[in-house]
Amino acid sequence: MSRLAFVSAVVAVVAGAASTSVSATHDAGSYFVTPSRNIICSWSTDIDKPSRTYLRCDIGTGLNPKPKRPSWCDVDWAFGLSLRNVGRADPICAGDSVFHGLTPVLPYGATWRKRGFTCRSRRVGLTCRNSHGHGFS
């Protein structure tokens, strides 16, 4: 299991007690889900380098179009995106998921912010960026 996957799994357990809605005006915590419940995002840090942070967004319906499987990935790869605090977004390669039942909803029109990451929820989808302007929609 990768460190990111391990951290995401641990955060999932801790986040189970989260409230059911997310305020658009403050740091929203480490998890949120879109109102459609199709996209769930998890923020985490690297255990060895706390200055390295990640935003992982799993998409229930998967990526469309489905990207080519990376040669180094021997588990699932086309179900979401990962964004580091520096650099571009990449498809996730992981054998787990951050989906679970008790995740705060990021309402349409609301913005989530945490340590350089910004995500805006809209009816047409979710847009997330790091502080360098890289991200995904």
At residue 26, the pLDDT reads 31
pLDDT at 20: 34
Query: Cα dist. 132→35, 117, 118 in Å?
Result: 27, 9, 11
Residue of 102, 107, 101 lying closest to 122 (CA atoms): 107
Provide the domain count of the chain. Answer: 1
CB-CB neighbours of 103 under 10 Å: 25
pLDDT, residue 48, reads: 87
- Domain boundaries, position 95: 3-136
Tell me the C-alpha distance between 101 and 98, whole Å. 10
pLDDT at res. 33: 95
What's residue 100's pLDDT?
74
Local confidence pLDDT in tens for the 137 residues of the chain: 444 433 333 333 333 323 333 333 334 479 999 999 999 999 999 888 888 999 999 999 999 999 999 899 999 989 999 999 999 999 999 988 888 777 899 999 999 999 999 999 999 999 999 999 999 99
What is the distance between the alpha carbons of residues 14 and 8, in angstroms, rounded to a whole number?
Answer: 10
Does an H or E element contain 122, and which?
Answer: strand 117-122
Bridge pairing between strands 90-91 and 111-114: unpaired
